[in-house]
Amino acid sequence: MGTMGALENEAVAFLNFCRIEKGLAANSLQAYRTDLKRFVQFAGRECAGAIPDVEGVRRYMDSLAKLG
């Protein structure tokens, strides 16, 4: 499995945790799902297929700030 597949799997595991252990509402889970999908897409484009390090996360946060 590639790095992006691993990142996607981690996102799914987090969403399952939020649903099962935290009991989050469907709308909260959907918001998290949307945010994580955008992060995974960013990582695929901007981090050369690697799981983002601190600098990669910082670049993602900067990209969100630019979007408003």
Q: How far apart are CA 68 and CA 9, in angstroms?
A: 28
Q: How distant, in Å, are the alpha carbons of 48, 58, 63, 67, 68 from that of 14?
A: 23, 20, 23, 25, 26
Q: What is the mean pLDDT of residues 7-32?
A: 95
The Cβ of residue 21 has, within 10 Å, a number of other Cβ atoms equal to: 8
- pLDDT tens across 20-55, in order? 999 999 999 999 999 999 999 998 888 876 788 999
What is the pLDDT at residue 3? 60
pLDDT band with cut points at 50, 70 and 90 for residue 15: very high
